[in-house]
Structure 1
Amino acid sequence: MKNPSFIKTITNHSLTTFGRIILSINMLAVIFTALRLAKIIDWSWWLILLPIWGPAAYFTLVIGGCTICMTAAAILNHIDKPKTPTNKKEAQ
């Protein structure tokens, strides 16, 4: 029996390093959740779902850092521009 085409598509593509990291983090969250529901571990739900919040926190920090840098660059660019007169009367 031949494999369906979607299985060939999935197996032919390799995951990037970032994709593997995200997959590993999600699998860790699933394992922690299963252990909590099976009452094998007695951790807080915040601690169990922490692997899911890690990438979200990283993304938020990166976007926040980029926003701060872009705002600072715009302010410094505005400050460094020489003031030019808008009409000839001000120039004289």
Structure 2
Amino acid sequence: SLDQAAGKIVDTIKRTGGDVSGPIPLPTEIEKVTVLKAVHKYKDSREQFETRTHKRLIDVKNPSKETIDALTHLDLPSGVDIEIKK
């Protein structure tokens, strides 16, 4: 779904006349949390959970106002966020 959303963003940029490069896959961020399975002792018995964050970089050169408006109002699936920086 991330690659589909990135394709949707690239199509929107091209449709509004923007010059785009990407999507470029960035390294996956992995956040690990270790918890004890037992309540009081048995420190050797642990369980690990991890959250993976996948990111794509889409570089827009010379964006128009129409391009920025289209990106801010773009309907993306849940779990996919867009961050616009200058």
Instruction: Sort the TM-score into its range (normalised by shorter chain).
Output: under 0.3
> With CA pairs under 8 Å and 6+ residues apart, which has the higher RCO, 1 or 2?
2
* Larger Cα-atom Rg: 1
Q: Which has the higher strand share?
A: 2
Q: Which has the higher helix share?
A: 1
Normalised TM-score (structure 1): 0.24
Normalised TM-score (structure 2): 0.25
